[in-house]
Structure 1
Amino acid sequence: MGKIFYIMGKSSSGKDTIYRRLLEDRELALRNIVLYTTRPMRQGEQPGREYYFVGEETFKEYEAQGKIIESRTYQTVYGPWIYFTADDGQVQLEQRNYLGIGTLESYLHMKDYYGEEKICPLYIEVEDGERLKRAIRREELQPEPKYAEMCRRFLADEEDFSLENLKKAGIERHFENIELESCVKELKTCIQTLQ
C-alpha cells in the first residue's frame, strides 16, 4: 500500500525546489500530485507541472461533482485566487507512493480524506530573514513583480504555520533548509525509512 509524502513550509522556504529534486530521484520512484489553481502562471511554470492553471468555472464543476478534497481561497491584492486538490484519478495508493505539496490546511484535509496512516508530513523550515531575501530575489525575476502579494503571503504564513498550529496538526519533525543538498538528503533518508 502506498503513501503520500506531503511537503509543507512557509513561502520561499525552498519547498518547490525540494519537491522537484525528490520527484527526479529515481531511487524514490515517487509520483507527483498536481494541484489546481486559478492564479496566473508565473514565469518558468508549466501547466500540469507545478499546477493545473484553470478558471473558477473548473473549480465549480469539480465542486458540483463532489470531487474537491480540499480548497482554499486567498484574497490577494489581485482578487481571489483559489488553490485546490481534486479527486481526479491521479492518486492510486494501491499501486505507488506519491509526493504532494501544499499548506498546513491542505495537509489536514488530505489526512482526513486518505487517512492518517497514508499521509507523511514533511515540514521545511527556513529562518524568516533568509526567507524574505529569497522571496524578494524570486519576485525580482518576474516580468511584473507582485511585491504587495509577496508581503501578504509572508505575513499570512506566520499565522498559518505557527508552532501552535503545527503542534495541533501533529507535525513535530522539521527539516531545515539551510543548505539544499543536506536538506534533500535528509528528506530522502526519511522517505526511504517510511516507504
Structure 2
Amino acid sequence: MNHIFYIMGKSACGKDHIYTALLNNEKLRGKLEPLIIYTTRPKRKREKDGREYFFSNEKKLADLRNSGRIIEERVYQTVYGPWYYFTADEGQIELDKYSYLGIGTLESFRKLVKYFGEAVMIPVYIEVDDGIRLERALKRERKQEVPKYKEMCRRFLADCKDFSEEQIEEAGIRRRFENNGAIKDCIDACAAYILVTEGED
C-alpha cells in the first residue's frame, strides 16, 4: 500500500527544511512524490511556484470549490489580510502508483485522514523547544526583504493553541521527532521511519 507521509509541527520547527531534505534523501530518492498544496499568501524569497506551493488566488479557490475538488482548506486572518491554504484533487494525486510526502497542520491532517483513510495517512510530527523555535523564527524573518514581525508573533502564539497536547492526541499522533539539536539527526530519524513504514530497511 502506498502512503502519504505528512509532516507537521509548529512554525519555525524546521518543517520546510526537513521536507526538502527527505525528498532529496539518497535512500528515499524516487520513492516519494511531493504532495503540493495551494496557498494565496505571497511567495517568500527563494520560493518557486509548484515547488513549495502552488501560489494561487481566491478566484482559483472558488473555482475549485465549485467543482468539488477541494479536499481541505483553512484560512488565517493575518495582519495582511486572509491567507488561504488548501489541498485540491485535480487528478495529480495517484496513490495507486506513488507514495507522497506532504506538509501541513493538524487540522489539514485530520481532513486528509477523512478523505484518504487512516491506513494511507502517516503523521510525521516535528517537535522543537519553544525558545529555540522563537529564535529560529526571528532569524528567518530578518532575511526577508520586508520582515513581517507582527505576523511572526501572531503565528507563534496561535500555534500554542493549534498544536495543544489535546489536539495532538485527538489527531492520533503517537510518535514525535525532536529537532532541538542537529537537524540532520531529525532528518535521519524521519527517513528511517518512512523506510520501515514502506517495508524497506
TM range (shorter): over 0.9
Residue in 2 that maps onto 1:186: 189
Residue in 2 that maps onto 1:7: 7
1:24-63 deviations in Å (ceiling 9; x for gaps):
1242221001110000000110000000111100000000
Partner secondary structure for residue 25 of structure 1:
coil
In the TM superposition, 1:45-56 aligns within 5 A as 45-56=47-58
2:28 matches 1:25: no
RMSD (Å) for aligned C-alpha atoms:
0.7
Letter in 1 for 2:64: Y
- TM-score w.r.t. the length of structure 1 is 0.98
Output the CA distance in 2 between the equivalents of 1:143 and 1:191.
Answer: 36
In the TM superposition, 1:167-182 aligns within 5 A as 167-178=169-180, 179-182=182-185
In the TM superposition, 1:116-131 aligns within 5 A as 116-131=118-133
- TM-score w.r.t. the length of structure 2 is 0.95
Letter in 1 for 2:74: R
1:98-127 deviations in Å (ceiling 9; x for gaps):
000000000000000000000000000000
Output the CA distance in 2 between the equivalents of 1:139 and 1:26.
Answer: 30
Output the CA distance in 1 between the equivalents of 2:130 and 2:39.
Answer: 26
Letter in 2 for 1:184: I
In the TM superposition, 1:1-195 aligns within 5 A as 1-28=1-28, 29-178=31-180, 179-195=182-198
Provide structure 2 residue ranges, at least 5 long, that are not aligned to the other structure. none
Output the CA distance in 2 between the equivalents of 1:149 and 1:128.
Answer: 17
Provide structure 1 residue ranges, at least 5 long, that are not aligned to the other structure. none
Output the CA distance in 2 between the equivalents of 1:134 and 1:90.
Answer: 34
Identity across matched positions, percent: 53
Q: Residue 144 of structure 1: CA displacement?
A: 0.3
Partner secondary structure for residue 23 of structure 2:
helix
Letter in 2 for 1:189: A
